[in-house]
Amino acid sequence: MNRNDALRKQGILPPKPPDLADQFEEALQQAVQEAEANRLENLNLDELAELEDDEDDEFLEFYR
């Protein structure tokens, strides 16, 4: 613990501002999760069938 941390603990210094890198990483992860969840939303039946075939092939290749 450095001197500034000790002063913050006693309330003499204000809390550290949040780390922007951590906030960016969290926002990026959330955006990726939302994109993954919504990726099937606007596909028609033919596109869904094609995607299913592609994913089956990728799955099988992964386990070969």
pLDDT at 14 over 90: yes
Predicted TM-score (pTM) of the model is 0.44
> What is the pLDDT at residue 28?
93
Tell which phi-psi region holds residue 2, choosing left (phi > 0), alpha (psi between -120 and 50) or beta: beta
> What is the pLDDT at residue 13?
93
Kindly tell me the burial class for residue 28, based on how many C-beta atoms sit within 10 Å of its own C-beta (0-12, 13-18, 19 or more).
exposed
Contact (CB, 8 A) for 40 and 48: yes
Q: What is the pLDDT of residues 24-60, one digit of tens each?
A: 999 999 999 888 877 777 778 888 778 777 777 776 6
Q: Report long-range pairs for 53-61 (Cβ below 8 Å, ≥24 apart).
A: none
Contact (CB, 8 A) for 9 and 15: no
